Amino acid sequence: MANSNLEELKGLADEALQAELDNSESLYRKMKFEHAIKGLANPMELRDLRRAIARLNTEVRRRIVATMGPEELALRTKIRARRRRKQ
């Protein structure tokens, strides 16, 4: 199931992916509010939706990194190395 979902995300256009992300985030906020007020029948839906949002964000970020130029990628690598050294 997870692999087919990942393939579907890769097949979406950028606009459709962003629209899906916006819809999922608004649905998550509504469900979270509803759960706080009266409770959900299945609270595990919140976790599933949160994970779906994370998958969408990952795909958006993957596409951004794919369009970066060599200079931006080199800078990104330096920043990541600096963060690793801090820890």
Domain tally, the chain = 1
For the chain, what is the radius of gyration of the CA atoms? 17
Amino acid 1: pLDDT: 40
Q: Please, which residues have CB within 8 angstroms of residue 60's CB and are 6 or more apart in sequence?
A: 17, 18, 21
Amino acid 56: pLDDT: 95
Amino acid 4: pLDDT: 56
Range of the domain at 13: 2-86
Tens digit of pLDDT at every position of the chain (87 positions): 455 577 888 888 999 999 999 999 999 999 999 999 999 999 999 999 999 999 999 999 999 999 988 888 888 878 888 888 877
